[in-house]
Amino acid sequence: MSDHGQNEQEEIHSEVLRAGRRTYFFDVRATKADDYYLTITESKKHTADNGNVFYKKHKIYLYKEDFDQFQDMLKEATDYIIDNRGEEVISDRHEPDYQKKHNGDFNYHEEAFKEEEHSEESNKEFTDISFEDI
């Protein structure tokens, strides 16, 4: 029998952040000496070639003595990203079939304009009626 589960100490508090194919777990745990620490786990869903689903997990153990420095560095890094790239999220560019769907930005926008023109033309066939006319 494995002692794999015995390395993890008692779980005190948990928060879960689901973010697409990734899930983040923030777990407060207690050591054997009854002190607290934080584990941050990233779990990412994958599909094998044979269709089986599996999860890859990465874990960070964060202890109280590192909290301040960790928070400062996380804040610096996230501020740097927002300052240099803005808050806009361009997540659909990471979809595997992005190119198939849009075939480049120009063609995608061109199709949108064609749809607008078509809807404007079809609207010309109808007469505008005001609710006051009814």
Query: Could you write out the DSSP letters of every residue in 46-76?
Result: EE-TTS-EEEEEEEEEEEGGGHHHHHHHHHH
Same structural domain, 81 and 110: no
Please provide the average confidence, as pLDDT, over all residues in the chain: 76
C-alpha 81, offset from chain centre? 16
Same structural domain, 40 and 83: yes
Q: Using one digit for the tens of pLDDT, what is the confidence trace for 29-87?
A: 999 899 999 999 999 988 999 999 999 999 999 999 999 999 999 999 999 999 998 98
Same structural domain, 50 and 72: yes
Q: Provide the residue range defining the domain that includes 97.
A: 89-123
Same structural domain, 70 and 109: no
Instruction: Domain count for the chain, please give it.
Output: 2
Which is nearest to 61 in space by CA: 79, 89, 93, 35?
Answer: 35
Same structural domain, 56 and 94: no
Same structural domain, 57 and 9: yes
Which is nearest to 16 in space by CA: 45, 36, 39?
Answer: 39
- Asked if pLDDT for residue 117 goes beyond 90, the answer is no
Same structural domain, 100 and 119: yes
20: confidence class by pLDDT, cuts 50, 70, 90: confident
Same structural domain, 103 and 71: no
- Asked if pLDDT for residue 105 goes beyond 90, the answer is no
Same structural domain, 67 and 8: yes
Answer whether residue 105 is part of any domain: yes
